[in-house]
Amino acid sequence: MDIKGETTELKHDYEFMRIVDGPREVMFKAWTDPKHVAQWWGPTGFTNPVCELDARSGGAIRIHMRGPDGIVYPMSGVYKEVVQPGRLVFTSVALDDTGEPLFENLNTVIFEEQNGKTQLKLHVRVIKSTVYAAPYLKGMKEGWTLTLERFEKYLSKMKV
């Protein structure tokens, strides 16, 4: 995807890790089934009025997050690798209000069994960005932290 005004100055990498009760098969489903993802994706207070996932290599992702203030943040992407139940690799492209890309991430999620629990590792790499992406990138670490907290809470109540 072409990003107008692309810059190389705003490259970021983020690593997140959680140990969560439950089998990795359930976690994998919670990350690949749109009815589940729509319930936890995004920071606290966000909803997902659009959540479309085609969880297979080459499959599309489209999520529109609505903030507590009503602003919608659209995102698209593509699954690069889907290895059930252990690994997901996908891009996510944040779009501005005209549908133009602001930045693109490559996300790798690994689910590993660990003593009856599951270790979730998430690596997020910003691979393309524009000068307009700076405020979004500044809040990315906190946004993912809050998103993973929502995921853990949802997982504890999830009905498979």
**Residue 101 falls within a domain, yes or no?**
yes
Residue 18: give its domain's CATH number: 3.30.530.20
116: DSSP letter: T
H-type alpha helices, 4-131: 24-32, 34-40
For the chain, what is the domain count? 1
Does a structural domain hold residue 1? no
pLDDT at 10: 47
For residues 147 and 137, the answer to whether their CB atoms sit within 8 Å is no
- Pairwise CA distance, residues 6 & 101, whole Å: 10
**Domain presence at residue 11:** yes
In terms of residue numbers, what domain contains 115? 6-157
Is residue 46 within 8 A of residue 151, CB to CB? The reply is no
Q: Is residue 137 included in any domain, yes or no?
A: yes
* 102's tokens: 């602001």
Q: Quick one: tokens of 146?
A: 């809050």
**Full-model pTM:** 0.89
pLDDT given at position 157? 86
The confidence score (pLDDT) of residue 158 equals 76
pLDDT at residue number 115: 87
